[in-house]
Homo-oligomer: A and B are copies of this chain.
Amino acid sequence: MSGVRNLSAALRRARVPRTRIIARPILPQSSCATVLRSFTTSSAARADKQIKYTSDAYPNLKRDSKFAEISADDVAFFKELLGSESAVIDGVTTDATDDIEPFNSDWMRKYRGHTRLVLKPGSTEQTSKVLKYCNDRKLAVVPQGGNTGLVGGSVPVFDEIVINTSRMNKIRSFDEASGVLVADAGVILETADQYLAERNHLFPLDLGAKGSCHIGGNVATNAGGLRLLRYGSLHGTVLGLEAVLPDGTIVDALSTLRKNNTGYDLKQLFIGSEGTIGIVTAVSIICPPRPKAVNVAYFGLESFEQVQQAYLAAKGQLSEILSAFELMDGRSQGLVIESTGNKHPLEGEYPFYCLIETSGSNAEHDMAKLETFLENVMGEGIVADGVLAQDETQFQALWRWREGITEALSHLGGTYKYDVSIPLSDLYLLVEDTKARLTEMGFVGDDESFPVRAVVGYGHMGDSNLHLNVSVRHYNKDVEKAIEPWVYEWIQKRNGSISAEHGLGVAKREYIGYSQNETMVKLMKQLKAVYDPNGIMNPYKYI
């Protein structure tokens, strides 16, 4: 790819052979932090090392004695009900440790539960009967989709029964005129998107785990991802859902209407509830027409001030075709070079990099807008250097400089990850302040004696969403204590969010007070008590 002088060349090229402009209907698989390939790599690398039990990592969590223990009779009931061998993984009356393990632990190998029973209901009705039984018997449960979460929300802590949605995986309907898709919760995001691609539509959510995550899980965790900037949050795009409450009540709010003002919009409560008030079994969502043209540009910039200027320019000039504005700092890109050995697309080194994606219905118009934007940001000296993808391969390659960060970090040891929202002007200050603090405390250095290898920042600039990552050579309690709760206090002072898109799970449950006031927490607990009076739904997590 071409360097600073070559951007003008790239622009010239782009102007002439219009056919070379990428016009691809399928968007790339890209990521906030969850590149599932890194799971395989990591697990292979650490195959010898057992994952620590969450109950050991969080000794303040105690199994609540109000919950019943699973008996052989319970297992018999579930086997009879679900009527299929594959629908019940029984570690109660048989030794099924190996089969159960993938459901007990997460892909990051950070959380591990003690469950001995996994149920895979095949329908909403079966889910209803399973939950009602559990509620009556006071058996705790953990709803689980693709198990791709980052906060330990989808795996048990103790012996909670895992209720996995993978067998509910049918697309129920799609209406091309309205763009409304209705599908079971267990449909994999990528499957849904491929189905839509064949019908010239797009799933209005895209994230790195798309090959594994379930759309029900996406809705239950209010997943954000890469193109929220363009298509908005699930609170706006989800038109309806079907869910099962702990007492077995089937909430049929599976409307396919864009407008329906007949009462409280209760479905919203399930969006982002992380399986604590019910299990989402189906989703109705409005999907936009698939863009006919997609472009990607990658820039080097000298300061965060200039990153902000570039963002404002993109918002103003690319406006309706802007579909991603991603930020990566210099250190994060250095780690990708270190980990992959790939040649960086730009010649020089810069403290900041941005990836800008446009998606539109007319390739020529989009390229013209992009060219005007590039001329502006380069002419004004906002951007120091940049490249523009000229074909599909370059398009994918540029996205990998953003996507590859998580994987690069995972190869280099442990990572303390913080997924936060901060008002835009202060977004990167958190990385600088964290680095300064850890450096002052003597934790950061290039040689092996320092616990911290790097403090890096990247994220969804367009959503004010930063991923702060502290890369460590090994996990270190002193480093952890230096970061927490300091980092949360820092965010609270700026009215930010301690969890922008990953949710609370086990990881953030104690810290909710930094982003929600006492009244809000009280109201949330009140709501939880209304829907789940026995507290069987995903206990030890969330609020």
List residues of A whose CB falls within 8 A of some B CB.
Answer: 175-179, 200, 221-222, 224, 228, 232-233, 235-237, 249-253, 255-266, 268-269, 271-273, 277, 289, 291, 308, 311-312, 315-321, 360-362, 365, 368-369, 421, 423-425, 460, 463-465, 495-504, 508, 512, 515-517, 519-521, 523-524, 526-528, 530, 542-543
Whether B499 lies near A423 (C-beta < 8 A) is no
Known pairs A177-B308, A519-B249, A523-B251; A500 contacts B362 (CB<8 A): no
Whether B261 lies near A512 (C-beta < 8 A) is no
Whether A221 lies near B261 (C-beta < 8 A) is yes
Complex alpha-carbon distance, A169 and B262, angstroms:
28
Whether A266 lies near B524 (C-beta < 8 A) is yes
Known pairs A261-B502, A365-B369, A465-B259; A319 contacts B289 (CB<8 A): yes
Beyond known contacts A261-B497, A262-B515, A268-B268: 7 more, CB 8 A cutoff = A175-B423, A257-B421, A260-B497, A261-B499, A261-B500, A263-B504, A264-B272
Residue of A253, A261, A368 with most chain B CB atoms under a 10 A cut-off: A261
Q: Which residues of the partner chain B approach A277 to less than 8 Å between Cβ atoms?
A: 264
Whether B524 lies near A263 (C-beta < 8 A) is yes
Complex A-B: 19 CB contacts under 8 Å: A177-B308, A177-B311, A178-B464, A222-B265, A232-B236, A233-B259, A256-B423, A257-B496, A261-B503, A262-B497, A262-B499, A262-B504, A263-B520, A264-B269, A266-B523, A268-B268, A318-B361, A319-B361, A320-B320
> Which residue of the partner chain, among B236, B249, B262, B320, contacts A237 with CB atoms under 8 Å?
B236
Complex alpha-carbon distance, A83 and B315, angstroms:
46
Complex alpha-carbon distance, A257 and B228, angstroms:
13
- Identify the 3 closest CB pairs spanning chains A and B, nearest first: A236-B236, A268-B268, A319-B361
Q: Which residues of the partner chain B approach A500 to less than 8 Å between Cβ atoms?
A: 257, 259-261
A291 to chain B, nearest CB (A): 8
Q: Which residues of the partner chain B approach A252 to less than 8 Å between Cβ atoms?
A: 517, 519-520
Q: Which residues of the partner chain B approach A175 to less than 8 Å between Cβ atoms?
A: 423-424
Complex alpha-carbon distance, A517 and B543, angstroms:
30
A233 to chain B, nearest CB (A): 6
Complex alpha-carbon distance, A48 and B291, angstroms:
58
